[in-house]
Amino acid sequence: MEFTIKAGSPEKLKNGCVVVGVYAGGELSAGAQALDKASDGALAAIVARGDLDDKAGATLLLHSLPGIVAPRVLLVSLGKAAELSDKAYRDAVAAAAKQLGGLATDDAAFLLADIDAPRDLPWRLSQAAQILLDSTYRSDTLKSKKDESKKGVKKLAFIVHGKAGDELQAALLRGEAVAEGMALAKNLGNLPGNVCTPGYLATAARKLAKDHKIKVEVLERADMEKLGMGSLLSVARGSHEPPKFIILNYKGGKAKDKPVVLVGKGITFDTGGISLKPGEGMDEMKYDMCGAASVLGTFKAIARMDLPVNVVGLIPTTENMPGGSAIKPGDIVTSMSGQTIEILNTDAEGRLILCDALTYAERYEPAAVVDIATLTGACIIALGNATSGLLANDDELAAELLASGQAAGDKAWQLPLWDEYQDMLKSNFADIPNIGSKGAGTITAACFLSRFTKAYKWAHLDIAGTAWKSGADKGATGRPVPLLTEFLIGRAGGR
C-alpha cells in the first residue's frame, strides 16, 4: 500500500472510497460533518437509523451518497468521544483496514487520523500507517498458488488540515518502517524449521546488512568454542544443523555514544531435547526463534528511518534436538562467564543460549541491554496473549520500555525480580541450575539470566504469549518490533 499526505475537502475527493469517523450517539467527526453538509443531512440521517454500532471499530459502507464525489463512504465508529483511547483509535483503524482490503477500488482517502484525540497528529498518522500496511501482510511464501486477488486499496491518501510538513512525513515513514520490520519478523517466524535454520537466519542477517547501513559478523562453532560459550554449544550438541552467533552493528549515532544491545533468542526449532515436549502443538515450536526475528525486524525498521542511535544485535541460534550427543538432565556445562550450570531440564534451553550472549554483550560497554525471548510457558499463564512479560535490574529502564510499549500499542507488564526469587535457584553440584524450584517460572528464568548481567543495565522481555497466535489465525505477530522501535526512537531523542 502506497501512502501520501494531502489536504482536501472530503466531499470533493475523487478517491474510490472516503473513510471518516463517527462517535457514539451519532456525533460526527469533522470529516463526517463536511460530508453530511454536502449531502444535505443524508449522512446524519443514515447514522440516526442505528445501523452503525457505537463500539469502536464498527463499520458501515455507504454507496453513492448524494452530493459526494467519491462513490463510497466508509463510516467507522470511534466509540464515545470523551473516551477515545489509544486502543479505540487502533481498533477503528484496524476495522477500516479490513474493509478497505475487500473493496473493488484501488485508492481511498483516509480521515480517521485527522481528529482531536488521542495523542497528537503525528502519533495518529504513524499508527494508522503501521496498522494499514500491516493489514496487507500475507504469509504465502511457500504456497504454490499465491493470493492474487485484485481487490483491496493499493493507494491511500491521508487527508489533513494544512500542509504536510516534515514532522508528518517523518511520522508516516515511522509507521511504514515499523510495519516493514514486523513483516520481516513475521516472514522469518512463519517459515518452517526445515527452511529457517540457524544458517538461514545468518543469511537473512547478511541480506539485511547488505540492503541497509548495517555491519554483520557470523561466528561459527569453532569461534564460539574459542570464546568459551559452553552453555550455548551444549544446546547445539543434539542437532545436525551448525549453530551460529550473529552480530549486527548499526552505527547511526555519534561514534562515542554507547550502544543499546538487543539480544534475541534464536532456537529455530525446539523439541525440548531429551526432555521431549508433547507432540500436540509441537509444530509451533518453529516460533521459538521469534526473539531473533524481532531483533532483525527492529534493525530493518531503524535502518529504514536512518535513526540516529547506535545499536548492536546479538542472535545466538541453534536447534534443540534429541540425539546421541544431546545434553542430558544432570549434565553440567560451563558458560562463557565461567559460571557452571546444572542442566535439570533440557527444555529450558533458551536461557542457556542467552546467558552466553549476555556475557558477550559486556565488550560493548552498553548503555543498556534488552533480551527478547519466547522463554516460558509460565508467562502465558500469568499474562495471557495480550501482554509481554518484562523484568529488569534497573527500574528506569523498565519504565522506559513500559512507556514505549504503551505508545506503540505493544504492551508489556513488569514482574518482580526480587532477591527472594534468587533463592529458588540452587544446585548441589554447580553454581546454578537451569530451572528453579516449583512456581514463578517466568521470574526464576529471568533470575537465571540476571546472574550474567551484573555489568550493565538490563531488561528481559518474555514474549512467549505475544510472538505468535494459535488456532485459525495461526501465525507470527511481529511483536515486539513496535515496542523496541519506539524504545530506540526515544533513545535517539525522538518522540
List the CATH number of the domain containing 410.
3.40.630.10
Among 160, 191, 218, identify where a domain stops.
160
What cell numbers appear for 387 in the block?
501482554
pLDDT for position 161: 84
pLDDT for position 495: 54
436 CB-near residues (< 8 Å, 6+ apart): 421, 424, 425, 444, 445, 447, 448
Catalytically active residues are 277, 351
Among 160, 187, 217, identify where a domain stops.
160
Is the same domain home to 479 and 433?
A: yes
| H helix runs in 108-260, sequence order | 121-134, 166-190, 198-211, 221-227, 230-236
pLDDT for position 129: 98
| 146 within a domain of the structure (yes/no) | no
Q: How many domains does the chain have?
A: 2
Sign of CA dihedral 306, 367, 489, 205: positive
Is the same domain home to 296 and 359?
A: yes
Q: Could you read off the pLDDT of 25-63 as tens digits, one per residue?
A: 999 999 999 999 999 999 999 999 999 999 999 999 999
The candidate with the shortest Cα–Cα distance to 311, out of 356, 350, 264, 374, is: 264
Residues in the chain, overall count: 495
Question: Can you list the residues of the chain whose pLDDT is less than 50?
Answer: none
**Domain of 53: which CATH number?**
3.40.220.10
**Gap between the Cα atoms of 493 and 481, Å rounded:** 18
| 245 within a domain of the structure (yes/no) | yes
Is the same domain home to 95 and 196?
A: no
| 290 within a domain of the structure (yes/no) | yes
Pair type for strands 412-414 and 388-392: parallel
77 neighbors 24 (Cβ within 8 angstroms):
yes
Only one residue has cell 500507517, namely 129
Is the same domain home to 202 and 73?
A: no
Among 126, 160, 194, identify where a domain stops.
160
CB-facing half-sphere around the CA of 46: CA atoms within 13 A: 23
Is the same domain home to 341 and 286?
A: yes
Is the same domain home to 249 and 102?
A: no
What cell numbers appear for 102 in the block?
475487500
Is the same domain home to 352 and 473?
A: yes
Is the same domain home to 130 and 83?
A: yes
| Three-class SS state of 314 | strand
| 108 within a domain of the structure (yes/no) | yes
| 167 within a domain of the structure (yes/no) | no
Is the same domain home to 260 and 120?
A: no
pLDDT for position 494: 67
Q: CA 486 from chain center: how many Å?
A: 10
| 173 within a domain of the structure (yes/no) | no
| 102 within a domain of the structure (yes/no) | yes
The candidate with the shortest Cα–Cα distance to 33, out of 23, 44, 24, 25, is: 44
Domain extent, residue 92, equals 2-141+154-160
Is the same domain home to 291 and 388?
A: yes
| 148 within a domain of the structure (yes/no) | no
Is the same domain home to 130 and 216?
A: no
Could you tell me where the beta strands, DSSP code E, fall in 78-118? 107-110
Is the same domain home to 315 and 406?
A: yes
The reported pTM is: 0.96
pLDDT for position 100: 97
